[in-house]
Structure 1
Amino acid sequence: MSGTMENVEVIEVEDQDEGEFEDEESEDDELIPSPRVSNKDITDDGDEEELNGFEMEGLNCSICTEPWTSGGEHQICCLPCGHIYGLSCIKKWIRIGQRSSAGKCPQCNRRCTLKDVRVLYATRLCVLDAELQKKVRTLEAKCASLKQKNADCCNKEVESQEREADLHLKVEKLTEKTKYLERLLKDSQRESFTSNLGFQRKVINDIGNGSGSEVCSGAFTLQREFQVDGGRCFDMDASGELMILARRLNGMGGTSLLTKISLVAPYEREDIHLPANTKAVRALCVRPCTRLALLASLGKKLSIVSTESNNTVLTYDLPAPAWSCSWDIESSHHVYTGLQNGMVLGFDMRQTKTPLESRSGLSCNPIHTLISVAPDSSSGTRTLLTASQIGICEWNIGSTEERPYLIPESKNQGRVCISLAHSGGDDIVASFRPKIEMSCPMAVSQSFPTPSMSCGVEGCHIFYKRSGAQSYQKTGSLVAHVDSIRLPKSCIINKLNRSPMFVAANEVTSDLVLHDISKLAVVQRLKTSKNQIWDVKCTQIGNSCAIGCLSGDVLQLYTSP
């Protein structure tokens, strides 16, 4: 229903001579039925919808109850009183009335003659009820308001359902966490009770290298295992009680991402997606107490990722793929990376454009291990230790020395350096394997070979102790079974009131072997899953030492008081 009168023509009134109507008195006194006129004759096409809802009385002659027309015998006309009729009907009505006494309006009985009839000229005449229109507009406004309220209520209901689902999920997680903490408390009480009774675990080890056996108290035990897919390297954040795992999803061009695993609630995991051009992460290093992770990737990128906000904070473009990385042990602003072409680059996080240091190595072999060590007390120069195929090098960053210093004892024409571990003090351990002559230039330091390509060969671990600036003394060596192609990882554990322990994998038995550095003796063997061991890390968590081992798609955590 329309509230306006569109396209309504102005009504014109035409005076006609009285004689014109007198000539028509000869017509029959009886009213001749007017021809029926449909609504389509009254209204233009397309205007029918605007007439819907109107009472048809406003379109019909009140004498014959037939619709009046815009022309012809039944043309619309009116009397001086304002009432409207069909022309033929009102003429006959007035003639009949004049015969008796005087003609009158059929509705108000006001006296009138044929001369008073005024023909109206209009293609359409619509009469609107102002009060009715006002009520219609009010009802339409109320209807629109109710529709809006209904939509708001529906939206609120959806939001309430989503909040309810989130709360249910949080309740489930809190319930699981409570059960886990209760089990942890019971285990702790049980261990405390057995300790008070004087229980002491004894582990008898098989020494495969002829160095004998030893009884060890406070041994490492397996705490939990995590099933992971595509993991290749990881690190442990003791302050955040997290394990940060670099993974690459299966398939060609698989996406690289980081996965955070809570050490307090192991069922809690969260993925951090990395930029598409990051490619495979070759090394991962977490800086303590900062919730920042440093990533070296084969996509020629060195990235700093916040494990708190799950965002990439900084990204440095590199001239070659990155194989290793390290935070500066003295400065919280400096980071370093070792490249595939044998170069070492140093960056200041406060300057994100170019490297502060760019040093070329003694060869073009990839630097697969890079460690920042405490500077010598006499010089105060920042020092890096790197390992590549040719051996172990010491770099003095910020000094005039452009070339690194190669530790003489680590260079051997018949061996290849495949791993380097540092204790944070004066002890370092390098692992070697025999040099393999290949007909094709297949990298002896291939990043991720298939398991069928590698096997255990007889190599060795060589122990060194620092005695000054650019001075390391060899203290001993052990025969070991190492991988023939991959680059294994190793680490050194510092336990309170005990000599450091060196941890490395035995590729034949898939065990983690713990060596007492001072005695060069095996003190414990830790069983892992029967797969290649990708990475090994250790840290101090609370009052316990922790060893993490990534083998295949299983990440294992061992702890010791």
Structure 2
Amino acid sequence: MMITLFQPLILACGVSCRTYLRMEDMEVEVAPVSSEASVIFSLTLLSSVSSQPVSESEDPVAAAASPAGEAEADEGEGETCSICFEPWTMAGDHRLAALRCGHLFGFICISRWLTGGGSKCPQCNKPAKRGHIIFLYARKLKALDNAEEVRLKSRLELEQGSRRMEQLEVAQCRQQMQLMTDENSMGSKNPILKMWKAQAAFGSSQGASLSSSQRQDSSSGGHYVFSKAVLVSQTGGSRVLSYCEPLGCLLASQPSPQATLVPGFGVKKISTATLKPSQYVPIHSKQIRGLAFSQHQDSLLLSAALDNTIKLTSLMTNTVVQAYNTGRPVWSCCWCHDNNNYIYAGLANGSVLVYDTRDTSTYVQELAPLRSSCPVVSLSYIPRAASSMFPCGGLIAGSLEGGCFWEHVEGTTYTPHILPLESGNCTDIQVEPDSRHCLVTYRPGRANPSLRCVLMELSRTPQTDSRQPPVCSCSPVQTFTAGSSCKLLTKNAVFKRPAGEGATLVCAGDEATNSTMVWDAGTGALLQKMPADLPVLDICPFEVNQSSFLASLTEKMLKVYKWE
């Protein structure tokens, strides 16, 4: 049968009919279709064709084959009925409906198709009946291409598995390193084993170098050996560390272990004889930022906290015996080693308050900042000494803007001297009173990308003119560099080398590697690099029974090393 007028009908039914087309005579073989359906489709499509004439200049084949035509066809697949090629609606007779097989149609079209004699889906020829029609509620349907999402999820799972394996390997390596350190410590305590190891090392590996945690100068004659690790706070929060010589115990600040019953902050005692924590002493309501002892050996602990107070606590009775309200958060504190009746509090506004322990009412002097109002992050008192270079005593106050030496003239009279330090990066200043040196720590900056500890020599110009007062200053002697990270205000240390005949050691925490670094102040050589679990916050050297130790504190753990 030759078709011309009913060609749209055949195109409409082509999805469900067996058709054979030849370009020469357009011969079509069509399966029987009900008369009612044929009339419906013919009228619909004929009206569509008559209302939209095609211009002679347009090529329908080229238009359909063009990318724009393909895009429009793809776009229309999600919006039109496959029977009448008209958009379906959200309401009315031509609302969106579907069969059980999942194909979409206008309700009136598929309903008439099935009631007019059709018993199969026009799309896939699966059996269907009118009771299978269900309504759908959607403005537009499109299949979401989630192949990229599935691929990325698969890669994420692989990366997470690889990371877990790497973390497990790191944990195993740390455990092996700790075991080796413990074995070395045990071997050093056993004289016979120590001698055997020394002979074996001399015979087989004379030129072997020490590991990173045991490096030392050949002429030093000693190094620190790991002794024990003590858990201070399970939840973290430890900050500062100090040593009480009369009681033979270390004190580490921490939040209350029973916060619901006894809220606040205090210190935990750690016996240096057994290296075990003994008891917790509650002191402040907010975080403790400074701990200090006097030279009177009276077991009185001076503490500074962010609760606007400094307090004196008797460690004999574990009770607070005196409290001073400073009116502002306190960042640091120290004793006056020329007169133990005076104590100092470094405030958040840059001022230093001087208190007399014999006067319980208020402070006796306020040392106002000469430059900016940055918090006083460190306070150290250097006593008077018979030194030609620096005989005077006084208070060294450090802040982010630099340092100031408050010369203690007499009583409550102080003369300020601005120290020539870098501005904006100073995080800590510690003193070594015997050698009249101070250690200044600078955090990384644009000019210097690494943490630097600069050893400074304090000096005082002689007074040649009565009208010109002497000037106290400092000059750099040695610089020590560490990692490129310094987010915490770590307290470092400078102290005499054990049995070193005047030599000095510099010790600092390195956040980049979570370790404690020890340098020789004279040569600038790195002697040791001792690993830690977290960034080191405070370092405290101490002596017990003529043996020298070094303690390093993180927010959870305390590690003790013995000099051998």
Same fold (TM over 0.5): yes
Question: What does residue 440 of structure 2 align with?
Answer: 430
The higher radius of gyration belongs to: 1
In the aligned structure 2, how far is the partner of 1:273 from the partner of 1:461?
34
Question: What does residue 398 of structure 2 align with?
Answer: 387
Q: Deviations over 1:321-341 (max 9, x none)?
A: 110011112222221111111
Q: Residue 344 of structure 2 contacts residue 355 of structure 2 at CA under 8 Å; is this kept in 1?
A: yes
Q: Which amino acid aligns with 2:457?
A: K
In the aligned structure 2, how far is the partner of 1:558 from the partner of 1:550?
12
Measure how far apart 1:402 and its partner are. Answer: 5.7
254-263 or 398-407: bigger deviation:
398-407
Matched, 1:557 2:560: yes
In the aligned structure 2, how far is the partner of 1:417 from the partner of 1:189?
39
Q: Deviations over 1:48-106 (max 9, x none)?
A: xxxxxxxxxxxxxxxxxxxxxxxxxxxxxxxxxxxxxxxxxxxxxxxxxxxxxxxxxxx
Q: Deviations over 1:197-249 (max 9, x none)?
A: 89599973659xxxx97334321011111111132212112332101121114
In the aligned structure 2, how far is the partner of 1:460 from the partner of 1:337?
26
Q: Which amino acid aligns with 2:210?
A: I
In the aligned structure 2, how far is the partner of 1:553 from the partner of 1:240?
23
Measure how far apart 1:268 and its partner are. Answer: 5.0
Q: Which amino acid aligns with 1:417?
A: C
Among 534, 541, 544, which residue is 1:541 paired with? Answer: 544
Matched, 1:317 2:325: yes
Matched, 1:406 2:418: yes
In the aligned structure 1, how far is the partner of 2:209 from the partner of 2:314?
40
Q: Residue 301 of structure 2 contacts residue 314 of structure 2 at CA under 8 Å; is this kept in 1?
A: yes
Distance 1:205 1:393, change over 3 A: farther
Q: Residue 293 of structure 2 contacts residue 302 of structure 2 at CA under 8 Å; is this kept in 1?
A: yes
Paired residues for 1:320-359 under 5 Å? 320-359=328-367
Question: What does residue 282 of structure 1 align with?
Answer: 289
Distance 1:481 1:242, change over 3 A: same
Paired residues for 1:111-260 under 5 Å? 190-191=189-190, 204=210, 214-215=217-218, 216-229=220-233, 230-249=237-256, 254-260=263-269
Question: What does residue 49 of structure 1 align with?
Answer: none
Question: What does residue 380 of structure 2 align with?
Answer: 371
Q: Which amino acid aligns with 1:265?
A: T
Matched, 1:463 2:469: no
Distance 1:264 1:359, change over 3 A: same
In the aligned structure 2, how far is the partner of 1:486 from the partner of 1:330?
32
Q: Which amino acid aligns with 1:463?
A: L
Question: What does residue 474 of structure 1 align with?
Answer: 476
Aligned length: 348
Q: Deviations over 1:536-558 (max 9, x none)?
A: 11122222221111123111111
Q: Residue 324 of structure 1 contacts residue 368 of structure 1 at CA under 8 Å; is this kept in 2?
A: yes
* RMSD between aligned residues: 3.3
Q: Deviations over 1:515-550 (max 9, x none)?
A: 111111111111211x12221111222222211111
Q: Residue 428 of structure 1 contacts residue 463 of structure 1 at CA under 8 Å; is this kept in 2?
A: yes
Among 275, 279, 282, which residue is 1:266 paired with? Answer: 275
Q: Deviations over 1:447-471 (max 9, x none)?
A: xxxxxxxxx9623221211233613
In the aligned structure 1, how far is the partner of 2:188 from the partner of 2:417?
52
Q: Residue 203 of structure 1 contacts residue 217 of structure 1 at CA under 8 Å; is this kept in 2?
A: no
Q: Which amino acid aligns with 1:473?
A: S
For structure 2, the residue ranges without an aligned partner over 5 or more in a row are: 1-184, 202-207, 461-470
Measure how far apart 1:476 and its partner are. Answer: 2.7
In the aligned structure 2, how far is the partner of 1:189 from the partner of 1:477?
32
In the aligned structure 2, how far is the partner of 1:341 from the partner of 1:478?
30
Q: Deviations over 1:234-278 (max 9, x none)?
A: 211233210112111477995212211111133451111225xx3
Measure how far apart 1:376 and its partner are. Answer: 5.2
Q: Residue 509 of structure 2 contacts residue 535 of structure 2 at CA under 8 Å; is this kept in 1?
A: no
For structure 1, the residue ranges without an aligned partner over 5 or more in a row are: 1-185, 437-455
In the aligned structure 1, how far is the partner of 2:361 from the partner of 2:252?
28
In the aligned structure 1, how far is the partner of 2:505 from the partner of 2:211?
15
Q: Which amino acid aligns with 1:396?
A: E
Question: What does residue 515 of structure 2 align with?
Answer: 511
SS in 2 for 1:274: strand
Paired residues for 1:518-537 under 5 Å? 518-529=522-533, 531-537=534-540
Q: Residue 230 of structure 2 contacts residue 277 of structure 2 at CA under 8 Å; is this kept in 1?
A: no
In the aligned structure 2, how far is the partner of 1:419 from the partner of 1:338?
13
Q: Residue 205 of structure 1 contacts residue 214 of structure 1 at CA under 8 Å; is this kept in 2?
A: no
Question: What does residue 70 of structure 2 align with?
Answer: none
In the aligned structure 1, how far is the partner of 2:294 from the partner of 2:187?
29
Matched, 1:292 2:294: no
Distance 1:267 1:407, change over 3 A: closer
In the aligned structure 1, how far is the partner of 2:224 from the partner of 2:562?
5
SS in 2 for 1:316: strand
Measure how far apart 1:403 and its partner are. Answer: 5.9
Query: Once the two structures are aligned, what percentage of the paired residues are identical?
Result: 19
Distance 1:193 1:395, change over 3 A: farther
In the aligned structure 2, how far is the partner of 1:395 from the partner of 1:353?
24
Measure how far apart 1:297 and its partner are. Answer: 0.7
TM-score (norm 1): 0.56
SS in 2 for 1:520: coil
In the aligned structure 2, how far is the partner of 1:376 from the partner of 1:268?
37
Measure how far apart 1:303 and its partner are. Answer: 0.3
Q: Which amino acid aligns with 1:479?
A: T
Question: What does residue 407 of structure 2 align with?
Answer: 396
SS in 2 for 1:404: strand
